[in-house]
Amino acid sequence: MQVSERRIVVLGCGGTIAGRAASASDNLGYRAGELGVEELIAHVPVPEGSTLAAEQVANIDSKDLGLAQWCALSQRCAHWLAQTEVAGIVITHGTDTLEETAFFLHAVLAPVKPVVLTGAMRPATSAAADGPQNIADALSVAASPLAQGVCVVLAGTVHGAIEVQKVHSYRADAFGSGDAGPLAYVEEGRLRVLRAWPQGPALRSAGSLPDPDAWPRVEIVMSHAGAGSALVRALVKDGVAGIVVAATGNGTVHEALEGALLAAQEQGVAVRRASRCAQGRVLPQPGDRLPGADGLSPVKARIALMLELMQ
C-alpha cells in the first residue's frame, strides 16, 4: 500500500532570515524582508516522506509588524490546518516580535498540528547565515508526530509559545524559555522531547477576529525608579481600552504610577500587572488592587488583554 506524503506549508513573513546585505561580512547593515520564501527553502533539505508548499503572507521587518499582518497570518494558518493532507506549518519570521506572533497564534488557533515559527539572527547573505539550518530544524519539527501546537525553533532548540522570549540582541542562540525550560531539542533532524507540549483552548477564533481597526487599544507602560503618572493620564485621555504595566520584581509598581493606574481602572480602563523580570511570574497576594497577568510577559499580556476585551 502506498503511503501518502506529509505536506508541510511554509509561510513567509520576512525578517532577518530573508534579509540581504551588501557584504557577506555584514551582519548588521542589512535590509530585512528582501528574499521571498521560495528562495529561502530552495536548498533546504526536506524531511523524508514530506513535500513542501510555500506562500508569502508578508515580507517586512518584524519590528513593523501590525494587527493586519497578524489577522492575515492567522487566517492562512487556519486555512492550511484544515487541509487533511497538511501535517504542519512552518513560518519564517523576524526575531524582534517573533515571541508575540507565536503567542498570538497560540491564542487564536490552539492547533493540534504543529505550527512552527523560526527566524534568523543573521541575514541570508551572511557568511555564517543561521537561517537555512533553522528552517531545516523547523521542518523536522513540523513533520514529527511528537510535535503539536505552536512553538518556536531556533539554534536547535524548541520553545513553547507561552514562555519563549528573545533574550539576546545579537548572538545566534538568542531565545530562551525562562524557568520553564525548552520543550525539546532538534538533533540531526530528530526531535528529543523534554516536556509536554502546552495545549489549551483558543482565547478567540482566528475566523472571528474583527477588522484590525476595531481591535481594542492596549498599551504597555513600565514601572521604574522615579516613574510618574503623566503617561497613564495621557493614555486615558487618548481613549486607551487597556494598560499593561511592566512592573518591578513580583509586580510592584512605583506609588505615583500605581495611583494613576488605579484611577484609570476606576474610569473603566482594564489594567494588568506583568513583571519586567525575564524569569518568574507575578504571584498574587491578598488585597491586590491591580490584577496580575497570569504569568505572561508584558508583550504577551497585552495580546491576551486585547483578545479578552474583544469578548
Catalytic residues: 16
Let me know how long the chain is: 311
